[in-house]
Amino acid sequence: MSPCHRIELWQLTLRDVRAADAGLYECQVTTHPHVTLFHAEVVKARAVIQGAPEIHVHTGVTLRLDCTVEYATQPPTYIFWFHNGSMVNFDHRRSTLTVRKHKYGSSLAVTNVTWDDAGFYSCEPYLAIPANLTLHVVAGEKHAALHNGQNDNVVTEDEVPLRTAGSAHRFPSLMLIGSLCLVSFHSVFFQILTRDRL
């Protein structure tokens, strides 16, 4: 925590934010109003995979899983994908898998889905809570009969889950300006719950 004074500006910057940094903050200045209070809450960045916790796909389709990072104040340094516990980002033996990183997310494309592609998928961004998804692979249209003719949970080639990084609910660093007092938080998003002026 380091205060920085500039002309008509007092700035408080918190780095490597921890849960203990949450709470009530007070800024005192010589102008009116003399005191500004606000409450800050620490929110951990987290990954979200569209379609989670599980989806069904037919064999032979092209599947795309999109993982976005919410509540991140800056793009994650890296985002790793795992399939049944094994990282797939750099697995050149599986030519049917393609990973692309976006600013606030990553997509995993699987071409010509087979039974081997079924299982547990995990998206793990740097400094964020990971997201998980279970993929079930079924043969052709037979799966529809198991659901009494309803195939709402079956993903065909034209219904592949798609979510771009631009649709993520991401938040910039919070900057509170009031009575010539500015507070900037980095690494973890702070949300003002209440703000009272005395």
Outline which parts of the chain fall under CATH 2.60.40.10. Answer: 46-167
125-156 pLDDT per residue, tens = 999 999 999 999 999 764 444 443 444 444 44
pLDDT surpassing 90 at residue 117: yes
| Whole-number pLDDT of residue 161 | 41
Ranges of beta strands (E only) in the chain are: 2-6, 9-14, 23-28, 35-43, 46-49, 54-58, 63-70, 79-83, 86-87, 97-102, 105-110, 119-125, 131-138, 154-155, 175-178, 181-185, 189-197
| Whole-number pLDDT of residue 157 | 41
Cα(151)–Cα(160) distance, integer angstroms: 14
| Whole-number pLDDT of residue 17 | 84
154-165 pLDDT per residue, tens = 444 443 443 333
94-113 pLDDT per residue, tens = 888 999 999 999 999 999 99
| Whole-number pLDDT of residue 94 | 83
46-167 in CATH: which number? Answer: 2.60.40.10
When pLDDT is cut at 50, 70 and 90, the band that residue 64 belongs to is very high
